[in-house]
Chains A and B, each alone.
Chain A
Amino acid sequence: MPVVTLSSDPLLGREIAVKAATALGYDCVDREILKAVADRYDVPETDLHKALDESPSPFGISSNHHARYLAYIEEATLAVLLKDNVVCRGLAAHLYVRGVSHVLKIRILPDPQKLAGEISSGKTSSFEKVSTLLKRRERFRRRWSLDAYRVDETDPSVYDMVISLTRIDPDEAVKTIVETTGYRKFKPMTYSLKCLKDKALASRVRVALIDQFPDARVEADGSSVVVQTKALEREKQKRTEVIKKLAGEFPEVAAVEVQILPDIFRKAAESFR
Protein backbone atom coordinates (compact mmCIF):
# COMPACT_ATOMS: atom_id res chain seq x y z
CA MET A 1 0.00 0.00 0.00
CA PRO A 2 1.17 3.57 -0.54
CA VAL A 3 2.82 5.68 2.11
CA VAL A 4 1.28 9.10 2.75
CA THR A 5 3.31 12.12 3.84
CA LEU A 6 1.45 15.16 5.07
CA SER A 7 3.04 18.57 5.22
CA SER A 8 1.28 21.48 6.90
CA ASP A 9 1.54 24.28 9.39
CA PRO A 10 2.45 22.76 12.79
CA LEU A 11 -0.95 23.77 14.20
CA LEU A 12 -2.75 21.91 11.45
CA GLY A 13 -2.77 18.51 9.88
CA ARG A 14 -2.69 16.26 12.92
CA GLU A 15 -6.43 15.68 12.88
CA ILE A 16 -6.40 15.01 9.14
CA ALA A 17 -3.41 12.67 9.45
CA VAL A 18 -5.01 10.67 12.27
CA LYS A 19 -8.38 10.44 10.50
CA ALA A 20 -6.78 9.41 7.19
CA ALA A 21 -4.65 6.78 8.95
CA THR A 22 -7.72 5.40 10.75
CA ALA A 23 -9.76 5.27 7.55
CA LEU A 24 -6.93 3.51 5.71
CA GLY A 25 -6.04 1.19 8.58
CA TYR A 26 -2.51 2.65 8.61
CA ASP A 27 -0.25 3.75 11.43
CA CYS A 28 0.06 7.49 11.96
CA VAL A 29 3.65 8.48 12.55
CA ASP A 30 4.55 11.93 13.79
CA ARG A 31 6.90 13.60 16.22
CA GLU A 32 6.08 11.06 18.89
CA ILE A 33 8.92 8.96 17.44
CA LEU A 34 11.41 11.66 18.45
CA LYS A 35 11.43 10.36 22.02
CA ALA A 36 12.79 7.02 20.81
CA VAL A 37 15.28 8.80 18.50
CA ALA A 38 16.48 10.93 21.42
CA ASP A 39 16.96 7.84 23.60
CA ARG A 40 18.75 5.92 20.87
CA TYR A 41 21.27 8.63 20.10
CA ASP A 42 21.39 10.09 23.60
CA VAL A 43 20.42 13.61 22.57
CA PRO A 44 17.81 15.92 24.11
CA GLU A 45 14.40 15.39 22.54
CA THR A 46 13.79 19.16 22.58
CA ASP A 47 16.82 19.63 20.32
CA LEU A 48 15.34 17.23 17.78
CA HIS A 49 12.15 19.32 17.75
CA LYS A 50 14.26 22.45 17.37
CA ALA A 51 16.10 20.96 14.41
CA LEU A 52 12.76 20.47 12.66
CA ASP A 53 11.49 23.92 13.54
CA GLU A 54 14.52 26.18 13.51
CA SER A 55 17.38 26.99 11.20
CA PRO A 56 20.95 26.85 12.51
CA SER A 57 22.05 30.12 14.08
CA PRO A 58 24.89 31.45 16.25
CA PHE A 59 22.45 31.84 19.17
CA GLY A 60 20.54 28.62 18.63
CA ILE A 61 21.38 25.27 17.22
CA SER A 62 24.76 24.98 15.46
CA SER A 63 25.02 23.85 11.83
CA ASN A 64 26.73 20.59 12.74
CA HIS A 65 24.16 19.72 15.39
CA HIS A 66 21.34 20.68 13.06
CA ALA A 67 22.65 18.36 10.34
CA ARG A 68 23.25 15.58 12.84
CA TYR A 69 19.78 15.76 14.42
CA LEU A 70 18.08 15.84 11.04
CA ALA A 71 20.13 12.82 9.97
CA TYR A 72 18.92 10.91 13.06
CA ILE A 73 15.30 11.88 12.37
CA GLU A 74 15.60 10.98 8.69
CA GLU A 75 17.09 7.58 9.50
CA ALA A 76 14.35 6.77 12.02
CA THR A 77 11.54 8.00 9.77
CA LEU A 78 12.75 6.05 6.74
CA ALA A 79 12.94 2.89 8.84
CA VAL A 80 9.27 3.39 9.74
CA LEU A 81 8.25 4.17 6.15
CA LEU A 82 9.87 0.95 4.97
CA LYS A 83 7.31 -0.96 7.01
CA ASP A 84 4.61 0.50 4.74
CA ASN A 85 0.99 1.40 5.55
CA VAL A 86 1.94 4.66 7.19
CA VAL A 87 0.66 8.23 7.26
CA CYS A 88 3.64 10.40 8.21
CA ARG A 89 3.41 13.96 9.43
CA GLY A 90 5.67 16.56 11.00
CA LEU A 91 8.99 14.83 10.28
CA ALA A 92 9.80 16.60 7.00
CA ALA A 93 9.62 13.28 5.15
CA HIS A 94 8.31 15.02 2.00
CA LEU A 95 11.74 16.61 1.67
CA TYR A 96 13.87 13.46 1.80
CA VAL A 97 11.51 10.85 0.36
CA ARG A 98 11.41 12.37 -3.09
CA GLY A 99 11.36 10.24 -6.23
CA VAL A 100 9.58 7.28 -4.60
CA SER A 101 6.47 6.61 -6.64
CA HIS A 102 4.43 4.89 -3.93
CA VAL A 103 4.80 7.82 -1.56
CA LEU A 104 1.83 10.16 -1.88
CA LYS A 105 2.97 13.62 -0.84
CA ILE A 106 0.28 15.99 0.35
CA ARG A 107 0.45 19.63 1.42
CA ILE A 108 -2.35 21.06 3.52
CA LEU A 109 -2.81 24.82 3.27
CA PRO A 110 -4.50 26.47 6.25
CA ASP A 111 -7.68 28.47 6.31
CA PRO A 112 -6.46 31.74 7.90
CA GLN A 113 -9.93 32.47 9.26
CA LYS A 114 -10.14 29.17 11.15
CA LEU A 115 -6.50 29.28 12.18
CA ALA A 116 -7.06 32.75 13.65
CA GLY A 117 -9.46 31.17 16.14
CA GLU A 118 -6.97 28.44 17.07
CA ILE A 119 -4.02 30.79 17.48
CA SER A 120 -5.88 33.45 19.48
CA SER A 121 -7.60 30.84 21.70
CA GLY A 122 -10.04 33.33 23.11
CA LYS A 123 -7.99 36.46 22.55
CA THR A 124 -8.75 38.75 19.66
CA SER A 125 -6.71 37.95 16.62
CA SER A 126 -7.60 39.57 13.37
CA PHE A 127 -7.67 37.79 10.05
CA GLU A 128 -5.01 40.21 8.77
CA LYS A 129 -2.71 39.46 11.70
CA VAL A 130 -3.02 35.72 11.14
CA SER A 131 -2.48 36.12 7.40
CA THR A 132 0.67 38.10 8.08
CA LEU A 133 1.83 35.49 10.59
CA LEU A 134 1.19 32.69 8.10
CA LYS A 135 3.11 34.49 5.37
CA ARG A 136 6.02 35.00 7.76
CA ARG A 137 5.95 31.32 8.73
CA GLU A 138 5.85 30.31 5.10
CA ARG A 139 8.92 32.46 4.35
CA PHE A 140 10.69 30.87 7.28
CA ARG A 141 9.77 27.31 6.21
CA ARG A 142 10.98 28.07 2.72
CA ARG A 143 14.37 29.14 4.06
CA TRP A 144 14.52 26.22 6.51
CA SER A 145 13.78 23.59 3.86
CA LEU A 146 16.24 25.10 1.41
CA ASP A 147 18.96 25.17 4.09
CA ALA A 148 18.28 21.65 5.30
CA TYR A 149 17.37 19.77 2.11
CA ARG A 150 17.86 22.20 -0.79
CA VAL A 151 14.16 21.89 -1.52
CA ASP A 152 11.57 24.66 -1.18
CA GLU A 153 8.76 23.06 0.78
CA THR A 154 6.39 25.88 -0.12
CA ASP A 155 6.72 24.98 -3.81
CA PRO A 156 3.54 23.10 -4.85
CA SER A 157 5.47 21.01 -7.39
CA VAL A 158 7.09 19.14 -4.47
CA TYR A 159 3.70 17.52 -3.77
CA ASP A 160 1.30 15.18 -5.50
CA MET A 161 -1.64 17.07 -4.08
CA VAL A 162 -2.18 20.43 -2.37
CA ILE A 163 -5.39 20.83 -0.37
CA SER A 164 -6.57 24.25 0.72
CA LEU A 165 -8.66 24.15 3.86
CA THR A 166 -10.19 27.46 2.84
CA ARG A 167 -12.10 25.59 0.17
CA ILE A 168 -12.10 21.96 1.31
CA ASP A 169 -13.32 20.82 4.73
CA PRO A 170 -10.99 18.61 6.79
CA ASP A 171 -13.36 15.63 6.40
CA GLU A 172 -13.47 16.13 2.64
CA ALA A 173 -9.68 16.32 2.66
CA VAL A 174 -9.50 12.97 4.48
CA LYS A 175 -11.89 11.43 1.94
CA THR A 176 -9.82 12.76 -0.95
CA ILE A 177 -6.59 11.42 0.55
CA VAL A 178 -8.10 7.97 1.15
CA GLU A 179 -9.49 7.86 -2.38
CA THR A 180 -6.19 8.94 -3.94
CA THR A 181 -4.23 6.20 -2.20
CA GLY A 182 -6.36 3.78 -4.21
CA TYR A 183 -4.93 4.99 -7.53
CA ARG A 184 -2.79 2.36 -9.20
CA LYS A 185 0.06 4.84 -9.74
CA PHE A 186 0.69 4.94 -5.97
CA LYS A 187 0.94 1.17 -5.64
CA PRO A 188 4.34 -0.01 -4.41
CA MET A 189 6.38 -1.73 -7.11
CA THR A 190 9.82 -3.33 -7.22
CA TYR A 191 11.41 -0.09 -8.43
CA SER A 192 9.79 2.20 -5.86
CA LEU A 193 10.46 -0.18 -2.98
CA LYS A 194 14.09 -0.31 -4.05
CA CYS A 195 14.25 3.51 -4.15
CA LEU A 196 12.96 3.66 -0.58
CA LYS A 197 15.33 0.92 0.60
CA ASP A 198 18.24 2.79 -1.04
CA LYS A 199 17.28 5.97 0.78
CA ALA A 200 16.98 4.12 4.08
CA LEU A 201 20.41 2.51 3.65
CA ALA A 202 21.97 5.84 2.64
CA SER A 203 20.50 7.48 5.74
CA ARG A 204 21.93 4.77 8.00
CA VAL A 205 25.37 5.12 6.46
CA ARG A 206 25.14 8.89 6.82
CA VAL A 207 24.36 8.57 10.52
CA ALA A 208 27.43 6.35 10.89
CA LEU A 209 29.59 9.00 9.22
CA ILE A 210 28.06 12.16 10.61
CA ASP A 211 30.24 12.61 13.70
CA GLN A 212 33.41 12.71 11.64
CA PHE A 213 31.97 13.97 8.35
CA PRO A 214 29.00 16.26 9.06
CA ASP A 215 28.94 17.47 5.45
CA ALA A 216 28.89 13.96 3.96
CA ARG A 217 26.26 13.29 1.31
CA VAL A 218 25.42 9.64 0.83
CA GLU A 219 23.60 7.85 -1.96
CA ALA A 220 22.92 4.14 -2.18
CA ASP A 221 22.06 1.99 -5.15
CA GLY A 222 21.47 -1.58 -4.06
CA SER A 223 24.63 -2.64 -2.28
CA SER A 224 26.74 0.22 -3.67
CA VAL A 225 27.19 3.41 -1.72
CA VAL A 226 28.62 6.71 -2.90
CA VAL A 227 29.84 9.17 -0.29
CA GLN A 228 30.70 12.74 -1.15
CA THR A 229 32.56 14.99 1.24
CA LYS A 230 34.94 17.93 1.21
CA ALA A 231 38.58 17.77 2.25
CA LEU A 232 41.99 19.24 1.68
CA GLU A 233 44.29 17.42 -0.70
CA ARG A 234 46.49 16.07 2.12
CA GLU A 235 43.46 14.64 3.96
CA LYS A 236 42.07 12.80 0.96
CA GLN A 237 43.61 9.38 1.49
CA LYS A 238 42.97 9.20 5.22
CA ARG A 239 39.36 10.33 4.89
CA THR A 240 38.69 7.91 2.06
CA GLU A 241 40.01 5.04 4.19
CA VAL A 242 37.93 6.02 7.22
CA ILE A 243 34.75 6.44 5.16
CA LYS A 244 35.26 3.11 3.41
CA LYS A 245 35.78 1.41 6.75
CA LEU A 246 32.71 2.94 8.43
CA ALA A 247 30.38 2.44 5.47
CA GLY A 248 31.75 -1.03 4.80
CA GLU A 249 30.67 -2.15 8.26
CA PHE A 250 27.06 -2.40 7.07
CA PRO A 251 26.38 -5.95 5.92
CA GLU A 252 24.22 -4.68 3.03
CA VAL A 253 27.08 -2.59 1.63
CA ALA A 254 29.31 -4.35 -0.88
CA ALA A 255 31.03 -1.39 -2.52
CA VAL A 256 31.86 2.12 -1.31
CA GLU A 257 32.90 4.92 -3.61
CA VAL A 258 34.27 8.03 -1.96
CA GLN A 259 34.25 11.30 -3.85
CA ILE A 260 36.36 13.96 -2.19
CA LEU A 261 35.62 17.49 -3.32
CA PRO A 262 38.15 20.26 -2.74
CA ASP A 263 37.40 22.25 0.40
CA ILE A 264 38.04 25.65 -1.13
CA PHE A 265 37.17 27.66 1.98
CA ARG A 266 39.62 25.81 4.22
CA LYS A 267 42.22 25.90 1.46
CA ALA A 268 41.79 29.65 1.13
CA ALA A 269 41.92 30.08 4.91
CA GLU A 270 45.16 28.11 5.07
CA SER A 271 46.76 30.07 2.29
CA PHE A 272 46.22 33.31 4.25
CA ARG A 273 47.93 31.99 7.36
Chain B
Amino acid sequence: MERPIRLLLLDDEPIVGKRLAPALAKIGVETESFTDPEEALQQVARKDFDIVVTDFRMDKMDGLEVLKRVLQKNPRTKVIIITGYATLEIARQALTIGAFDFIAKPFNPNDLRTIVIKAARALGYQVNEKPVDSSSAHGDSETEL
Protein backbone atom coordinates (compact mmCIF):
# COMPACT_ATOMS: atom_id res chain seq x y z
CA MET B 1 0.00 0.00 0.00
CA GLU B 2 1.17 3.49 -0.84
CA ARG B 3 2.39 5.48 2.20
CA PRO B 4 0.49 8.66 3.09
CA ILE B 5 1.63 11.94 1.61
CA ARG B 6 3.92 13.72 4.06
CA LEU B 7 3.43 17.46 4.26
CA LEU B 8 5.18 20.03 6.40
CA LEU B 9 3.28 23.23 7.03
CA LEU B 10 5.15 26.31 8.20
CA ASP B 11 3.39 29.53 9.17
CA ASP B 12 4.19 31.75 12.13
CA GLU B 13 0.47 32.13 12.79
CA PRO B 14 -0.53 28.94 14.67
CA ILE B 15 -4.15 29.22 13.46
CA VAL B 16 -3.05 28.41 9.89
CA GLY B 17 -1.66 24.99 10.83
CA LYS B 18 -4.58 24.33 13.13
CA ARG B 19 -7.09 24.99 10.36
CA LEU B 20 -5.30 23.45 7.42
CA ALA B 21 -4.14 20.16 8.93
CA PRO B 22 -7.69 18.74 9.31
CA ALA B 23 -8.59 19.96 5.81
CA LEU B 24 -5.59 18.14 4.36
CA ALA B 25 -6.21 15.01 6.45
CA LYS B 26 -9.43 14.56 4.47
CA ILE B 27 -7.43 13.77 1.35
CA GLY B 28 -5.07 11.46 3.20
CA VAL B 29 -2.26 13.95 3.80
CA GLU B 30 -0.24 13.58 6.99
CA THR B 31 0.59 17.10 8.11
CA GLU B 32 3.18 18.33 10.59
CA SER B 33 2.71 21.99 11.49
CA PHE B 34 5.43 24.41 12.58
CA THR B 35 5.49 28.09 13.49
CA ASP B 36 9.29 28.43 13.73
CA PRO B 37 11.27 28.19 10.45
CA GLU B 38 14.40 26.85 12.17
CA GLU B 39 12.49 24.06 13.89
CA ALA B 40 10.75 23.27 10.60
CA LEU B 41 14.07 23.03 8.76
CA GLN B 42 15.49 20.79 11.48
CA GLN B 43 12.56 18.46 10.88
CA VAL B 44 13.13 18.66 7.11
CA ALA B 45 16.73 17.58 7.76
CA ARG B 46 15.54 14.58 9.79
CA LYS B 47 12.69 13.44 7.61
CA ASP B 48 11.74 13.44 3.93
CA PHE B 49 8.62 15.43 3.10
CA ASP B 50 6.77 15.20 -0.19
CA ILE B 51 5.30 18.65 0.10
CA VAL B 52 6.27 21.74 2.10
CA VAL B 53 3.82 24.61 2.47
CA THR B 54 5.50 27.74 3.80
CA ASP B 55 4.49 31.28 4.58
CA PHE B 56 6.56 33.92 2.80
CA ARG B 57 6.94 36.58 5.47
CA MET B 58 8.16 35.32 8.86
CA ASP B 59 10.28 37.00 11.51
CA LYS B 60 13.27 34.65 11.56
CA MET B 61 13.50 33.64 7.91
CA ASP B 62 11.55 34.34 4.74
CA GLY B 63 9.78 31.69 2.68
CA LEU B 64 12.23 31.95 -0.19
CA GLU B 65 15.10 30.95 2.10
CA VAL B 66 13.01 28.03 3.38
CA LEU B 67 12.30 27.09 -0.25
CA LYS B 68 16.02 27.10 -1.12
CA ARG B 69 16.98 25.00 1.90
CA VAL B 70 14.19 22.47 1.38
CA LEU B 71 15.17 21.99 -2.27
CA GLN B 72 18.85 21.68 -1.27
CA LYS B 73 17.89 18.83 1.03
CA ASN B 74 15.54 17.16 -1.45
CA PRO B 75 14.97 18.61 -4.94
CA ARG B 76 11.96 16.29 -5.35
CA THR B 77 9.98 18.06 -2.61
CA LYS B 78 7.18 20.27 -3.93
CA VAL B 79 7.22 23.62 -2.16
CA ILE B 80 4.12 25.81 -2.08
CA ILE B 81 4.46 29.42 -0.92
CA ILE B 82 1.55 31.15 0.79
CA THR B 83 1.61 34.86 1.50
CA GLY B 84 -0.45 37.85 2.40
CA TYR B 85 2.09 40.08 0.65
CA ALA B 86 1.99 38.69 -2.87
CA THR B 87 3.56 40.72 -5.65
CA LEU B 88 4.53 39.92 -9.21
CA GLU B 89 8.22 40.14 -8.27
CA ILE B 90 8.00 37.76 -5.29
CA ALA B 91 5.88 35.31 -7.28
CA ARG B 92 8.38 35.24 -10.14
CA GLN B 93 11.31 34.94 -7.75
CA ALA B 94 9.66 31.99 -6.00
CA LEU B 95 9.05 30.15 -9.28
CA THR B 96 12.59 30.86 -10.48
CA ILE B 97 14.04 29.31 -7.31
CA GLY B 98 11.83 26.27 -7.84
CA ALA B 99 8.52 26.74 -6.02
CA PHE B 100 5.78 24.41 -7.22
CA ASP B 101 3.08 27.01 -6.73
CA PHE B 102 2.35 30.33 -5.10
CA ILE B 103 -0.94 31.36 -3.52
CA ALA B 104 -2.01 34.66 -2.01
CA LYS B 105 -3.78 34.93 1.35
CA PRO B 106 -6.60 35.05 2.10
CA PHE B 107 -7.47 31.72 0.56
CA ASN B 108 -9.99 29.05 1.17
CA PRO B 109 -8.59 25.75 2.53
CA ASN B 110 -10.16 24.11 -0.53
CA ASP B 111 -7.84 26.18 -2.75
CA LEU B 112 -4.78 24.87 -0.95
CA ARG B 113 -6.16 21.36 -1.00
CA THR B 114 -6.47 21.59 -4.81
CA ILE B 115 -2.82 22.66 -5.12
CA VAL B 116 -1.67 19.92 -2.73
CA ILE B 117 -3.53 17.34 -4.83
CA LYS B 118 -1.81 18.70 -7.95
CA ALA B 119 1.60 18.47 -6.23
CA ALA B 120 0.90 14.95 -4.96
CA ARG B 121 -0.12 13.83 -8.44
CA ALA B 122 3.04 15.37 -9.88
CA LEU B 123 4.94 13.13 -7.45
CA GLY B 124 3.05 10.09 -8.69
CA TYR B 125 0.52 9.71 -5.87
CA GLN B 126 -3.01 8.63 -6.67
CA VAL B 127 -5.22 11.13 -4.85
CA ASN B 128 -8.95 10.98 -4.94
CA GLU B 129 -10.66 14.28 -4.44
CA LYS B 130 -13.28 13.58 -1.82
CA PRO B 131 -16.31 15.81 -1.60
CA VAL B 132 -15.83 18.30 1.18
CA ASP B 133 -18.32 18.41 3.97
CA SER B 134 -18.85 22.10 4.59
CA SER B 135 -20.75 21.40 7.79
CA SER B 136 -17.74 19.64 9.33
CA ALA B 137 -16.77 20.42 12.90
CA HIS B 138 -13.94 22.62 11.69
CA GLY B 139 -15.99 24.35 8.99
CA ASP B 140 -12.71 24.54 7.10
CA SER B 141 -14.02 24.51 3.57
CA GLU B 142 -15.95 27.73 3.82
CA THR B 143 -13.84 30.13 5.83
CA GLU B 144 -10.88 31.89 4.30
CA LEU B 145 -7.48 31.91 5.94
Taking Cβ atoms with an 8 Å cutoff, the residues of A that contact B are 99-101, 183-187, 189-192, 194
Contact = CB atoms under 8 A, between A and B. Distances in A.
A99 B88 CA distance: 5
B111 to A, nearest CB: 7
Contact of A189 (B87, B98, B101, B111): B101
A185 B93 contact: yes
Given A99-B88, A100-B88, A101-B88, A190 B95 contact: no
Given A190-B103, A191-B104, 18 more contacts: A99-B87, A100-B88, A101-B88, A101-B95, A184-B95, A184-B96, A184-B98, A185-B92, A189-B99, A190-B102, A190-B111, A190-B115, A191-B102, A191-B103, A192-B88, A192-B91, A192-B102, A194-B104
A100 B104 CA distance: 13
A187 B93 CA distance: 11
Interface of B: 86-88, 91-93, 95-96, 98-99, 101-104, 111, 115
Contacts, number: 37
Contacts of B91: 101, 189, 191-192
B93 to A, nearest CB: 7
A2 to B, nearest CB: 11
Given A190-B111, A190-B115, A191-B86, A101 B92 contact: yes
Contacts of A191: 86, 91, 102-104
26 contacts: A99-B87, A99-B88, A101-B88, A101-B91, A101-B92, A101-B95, A184-B95, A184-B96, A185-B93, A185-B95, A185-B96, A187-B95, A189-B91, A189-B95, A189-B99, A189-B101, A189-B102, A189-B103, A190-B103, A191-B86, A191-B91, A191-B102, A191-B103, A192-B88, A192-B91, A192-B102
